[in-house]
Amino acid sequence: MAKTKLKFCCFLKLIIYSCKNLTQILIGLLLIGIPHGAVDHLLQKDKKIALLPFVLNYLFIVVLYFIVWQFLPLFSLLFFIVYSSFHFGESEFEEMGIKIVSTAYYLKAILLGFSILSFIIFTHFGEAIDIVSSINGLQFAQSIGKDFTDNIYVFAVLSFVCILSQIQFRKKQSSLSLIFILLIGLKLPLIVAFALYFIFQHSYNAWSHLQVGLSMSSVSLYKKALPYTLGALLVFVLLLLPGKIKLDSSEGVIGYFFIFLACISLPHFLIMHIFYRNTALN
């Protein structure tokens, strides 16, 4: 069983490694990226809460955060970076068998996740600045980005060193996989490099955690996730309607998609944190 799982993981990573366009990346998101967050309804501990109120509260957070993006884009971006850093770091810690049991571990998780994001961003700095500056209210990122250009490689190296200092090689497969994915991403466009990490490191690991924590097979999880995966796509289309992103450029489309991910990730991050805190996976 373990060998089959490893082969499946390697197969998926080879697929995403060969990705050259947005269509293939979207396929990866549909296969595992979005579905890993589409079973959040199974994780609620309070079974007294009916499904409909749960979904409505979930959507309320998504829409509220989207509205905040429209009026406070800089705050929204910084907030996204902070909670995404913790979410990624917490998932990596869980994969390494490390529980977050104190304030120090919370900070370590944020540092690890932030280092992963920083490494991806600083090794694709020009693309990152173009995408951020395509978002209404963040055009100033272009001028600020010029101040960091001379030091981007220093920041990238520091981020990588920080990752190496944080990861534990108790589970070599996960640690080596993380390093392997980040290094492969060096020669790929930003969107592919991020998708490589998000889909086949973060989402794949989280999917495995859900299988263990819920005692469900992958097929059963997919069946439970399907309606909400389709719902997430519907939310994406609906959020396009009042958008203030320059969708006439590839950077604008990608920037808008990152806002969409930010919005649907916020309630997912909160629910997954409770799941990790209350579930023994190792």
Task: Write the pLDDT tens digit of every residue in 83-106.
Answer: 999 999 999 999 888 889 899 999
Q: What is the mean pLDDT of residues 115-122?
A: 96
Q: What is the pLDDT of residue 260?
A: 84
pLDDT digits (tens, 9 = 90+) for 135-190: 888 888 888 777 777 788 899 999 999 999 888 655 666 788 899 999 999 988 88
Query: Between 58 and 23, where is the model more confident?
Result: 58
* Helix (H/G/I), strand (E/B), else coil: 34: coil
Q: Which residues of 188-203 are buried (b: 16+ CB within 10 A; e: fewer)?
A: bbbbbbbbbbbbbbbb
Q: Determine if residue 232 is left, alpha or beta; phi over 0 gives left, psi from -120 to 50 gives alpha, anything else beta.
A: alpha
Query: Between 225 and 250, where is the model more confident?
Result: 225
Q: What is the pLDDT of residue 1?
A: 44
The model's pTM: 0.85
- Amino acid (one-letter) located at 52: L
Q: What is the pLDDT of residue 2?
A: 47
Q: Determine if residue 136 is left, alpha or beta; phi over 0 gives left, psi from -120 to 50 gives alpha, anything else beta.
A: beta
Of 33, 125, 124, 113, whose CA–CA distance to 81 is shortest? Answer: 113
Of 221, 239, 250, 272, whose CA–CA distance to 69 is shortest? Answer: 239
Q: Answer whether residue 8 shows pLDDT above 60.
A: no
Residue appearing with tokens 């994406």: 236
Q: Answer whether residue 65 shows pLDDT above 50.
A: yes
pLDDT, averaged across the chain = 82
Q: What is the mean pLDDT of residues 111-116?
A: 96
CA 248 to chain centre: 25
d(CA 124, CA 117): 11
In contact, 156 and 81? CB cutoff 8 Å: no
* Helix (H/G/I), strand (E/B), else coil: 124: coil
In degrees, rounded to 5, the angle at the alpha carbon of residue 233 between the alpha carbons of residues 223 and 243 is 165
d(CA 97, CA 113): 16
